[in-house]
């Protein structure tokens, strides 16, 4: 991944991981029920998912893949999703278990810790990527 900024690597890696996690999640639970009827299952017995949660993973991952080629957009993605995922992790940890964010997305403590780690990685990648790329040192 030579020549890519830390934010571009973050967008690419988490893009692939989140899309794959979303697709895998549908094999565990594909229900789109809400409220008291909301169903969920745990991927690998750890992370709570349902159809809505899977769609969020696929959408955020696809966005990461879409911006991975752009220096500026990958930096914005890393910083923006870093903040969003940290907030989501904190909100999730403060909720009572079993957690159901917005009455549709199941969360558990493992999800919340993972969201915090993804968020910290995003902030780190975004801050490690200067606002403007360094000038090229390649010979013409």
Reduced 3-state DSSP string for 8-31: HHHHHHHHHHHHHHHHHHHHHCCC
Q: How confident is the model at residue 3 (pLDDT cuts 50, 70, 90)?
A: confident
Q: Is 97 a residue whose pLDDT tops 70?
A: no
**What is the chain's alpha carbon radius of gyration, rounded to the nearest angstrom?**
17
Q: Are strands 105-107 and 41-43 parallel, antiparallel or unpaired?
A: unpaired
Q: Give pLDDT tens digits for 28-79.
A: 888 787 776 666 767 767 788 888 889 999 999 999 999 999 999 999 999 9
Number of domains in the chain: 1
DSSP E strands, the chain: 41-43, 47-49, 99-101, 105-107
Residue 139 domain-assigned (yes or no): no
| Residue 23 belongs to some domain of the structure | yes
In a domain, 1, yes or no: no
Residue span of the structural domain in which 11 resides:
6-127
**Could you say which DSSP state residue 98 is in?**
S
Is position 135 within any domain? no
| Residue 71 maps to a domain | yes
Q: Is residue 140 part of a domain?
A: no
Query: pTM score, two decimals?
Result: 0.86
Q: Is residue 137 part of a domain?
A: no
User: H or E element: which one contains 120?
Assistant: helix 109-127
**Tokens standing for residue 92:** 């999730």
């Amino acid at each position: 991944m030579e020549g890519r900024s830390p934010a571009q690597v973050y967008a690419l890696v988490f893009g692939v991981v989140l899309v794959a996690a979303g697709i895998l999640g549908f094999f565990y639970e594909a229900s789109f029920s809400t409220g008291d009827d909301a169903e969920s299952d745990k991927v690998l017995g750890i992370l709570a998912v349902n159809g809505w949660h899977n769609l969020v993973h696929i959408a955020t991952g696809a966005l990461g893949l879409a911006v991975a080629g752009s220096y500026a957009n990958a930096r914005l993605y890393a910083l923006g999703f870093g903040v969003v995922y940290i907030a989501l992790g904190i909100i999730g940890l403060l909720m009572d278990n079993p957690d159901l964010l917005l009455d549709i997305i199941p969360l558990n403590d493992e999800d919340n810790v993972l969201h915090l780690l993804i968020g910290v990685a995003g902030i780190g990648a975004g801050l490690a990527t200067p606002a403007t790329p360094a000038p090229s040192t390649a010979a013409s």
